[in-house]
Chains A and B, each alone.
Chain A
Amino acid sequence: MKAKVLMAASASASRLTASLFALMALSFLIVASFAQSSQAIEIKEVKSPGGITAWLVEDYTVPIIALNFAFAGGSSQDTDAKLGVTNLLSTMLDEGAGDLDSQAFQGRLEDLTMSLSFSTGRDFFYGSFQSLQANKDHTFEMLRLAVNEPRFDAGPLERMKTQTISGIRRSLKRPDALAGLTLSKTIFPDHPYGRPSRGTEDTVSKLTSDDLKAQRAKIFAKDSLKIGVVGAISADELAVVLDKVFADLPENGDLVEIPNVEPVTDKNVHVDFESPQTSIQFGLPGYKRHDPKFMSAFVMNHILGGGTFSSWLYDEIREQRGLAYSVGSYLVPYQHSALLMGSTGTRPDKAGEAIDIIKAQMERMAQTGPTPAELEEAKSYLTGSYALNFDSSSSIARQLTGIQTQGLGIDYIDKRNEMVEAVTLEGVREVARDMFDGIEPTFVTVGKPLN
């Protein structure tokens, strides 16, 4: 609440930033927005003659088509020596494909007024496409080229490596980013999840086009492909497109098995950093998406530090004491682990107090839990906010893809409301006890030396 628009910063955002935003929103989806439906969204399962499946919501109101897809195997598939290769791959698919070199490809994207972007999470590799209906034949061809025939030419590869390294350097100078990297490393010390997704300056500088080809061959396969489509396209038309874009991919990927891992708790790591504000991040074990207790934990987290301006953390840290501008917590259900994470930032002399408050609220949640009224308010919010997650073609397409990657079933949107409603006070108290009772979160602080 009460944020302000910084016009200068906003207006300087380029089209590149806009597509970046789309990717960030995607990662948010997995965490927090499995909303339910209060009205029917008709999802059709479309199976192409070539055996590709996609979920489709047909809608001709706005003459555009949004398509999202995901392959299993994100940055956790990187080897230690090739750290950042999956991320670099995601930056290179629109840097030339087929007969079009980077410049020709980018020029064509602009002529077609389409958007095409790729990104990687820990567990999945994502693609996102948006086109005017009028240009669809040409734009789907561009998608086909990017997915099947990327070139990885030397010039653009050097450029993307340089830009990636530049971003890595910047994040090491930003307290929040530094805290995030440090928290991952501390919580998952000997696991792929603990490593920086973008790699390090050293590993990225050594990556080659052969590395990209090898990584693409590992991940791009039909067996784990999930697709969501929304907009001005019929099921029959889509079936043809699916084969055109995806049918030539190999049946199976070659993914390395990632071990399950328990997050490390009760560590306190401080990174000295000259700053007028101390960044605080914390994490502790959460619940995986398929855990029967996930939904109780989801509702519990909403009360503790989730989305609204009424969470316990928000009230205690911001409203009552004015310690921070932002504070919140969220569940992060990975495929091979699960976390509850959170963050805030406050003046250096108050960092200790903020940490004590966070711990105290977890303790309060474990000991007394929410009141029945708080539980009802949380459920009311979480069920009522459904429709807002379905407010644009691209956000619906992201939802469709996300639901599939989590293996939740095509009726999930209809059932999700009931699942939230079914959460009980005892269920919330139980997950709170399991998560917080006798468990100390791992805390990372980045700022001036702590007192």
Chain B
Amino acid sequence: MDQFLPLIFVAVMGLSLLLYVILDGYDLGVGLLLPFASDAEKDVMIASIGPFWDANETWIVMGVGVLLIAFPSAHGIILTKLYLPATIMLFGLILRGVAFDFRVKAGDDKKVMWNRFFFLGSLVASMAQGWMLGSYITGLTGSFINTLFAVLIAVCLPALYCVLGATWLLIKTEGALFEKAVGWARTSVLPMALGLFLVSIATPLVSSVIAERWFQLPNFIGLLPIPVTSLIAMVVLVVLLKRDLTALRELNPMYLFACPVVVCLMAALGLAYSIFPDIIIGQMTIWEAASHPSALKFTLVGVLIALPCIVLYTIFIYKVFSGKASELRYD
């Protein structure tokens, strides 16, 4: 039993971070797209994420929390090495989190400033997350080529968030804003695909550990469905987005949103395979980093009871606030 505990926790951590990327991904994306909308549209866009952003953001606290609880020594090393990008990400999250509230409460003359902070915070947070991901994949070494790789991901991640944000807006909006969102999705899908492509090529190049795990013959064929599914999801998205607006309006927007979600899922699977069973690539396995079984067991009880509840009430909240966001209006 005891040797399975780290496995369970690494799965919970992975799931939390994947949920974070998808959920906070769409609301960070909405923040990134904010400057391209009119003032009235900005209100609707923010209303579309209003009831959700806070809980979305909690998933990163959960992910980092599980790292801290289950793998404290890895947590110490990772967050010490990622001190700067993590701090910069926090500044971004602080700015966007408060801008959300201040923009409607601090007075109309300050609204423009807070809208800008909302965008800036979203941008800074997404790029810092890309930087952290890049440093992490390359084993936290900080060499020149690895730093370059981290920069590459930092530039690409916002594009993925934009696609998530734009397709989310297709679910939540109608009218002119819907049309704009279609345009944003069309524009951002290419940089996203290019980014993923570059990252997929660069990862095995900068990390020999990852290259070894992927490019052995039986593994390679077994793993092929991961990039292939990802590619299909992107092609489907492009094909769907190419339709004219009337056809897009009749289409269930969930299909469009599902495409980047599938891409995220595949990227997560690929990443998990690349890293496992290490928690820090080439340095420390999940078993070496794990907490004492007594701590893990105590936490597991909480996870087993709380996590299903969290999932249930999250679904409930999404149901309560389903439908187009333009129904939400000021009064």
Chain A partners chain B: no
A interface with B by C-beta (< 8 Å): none
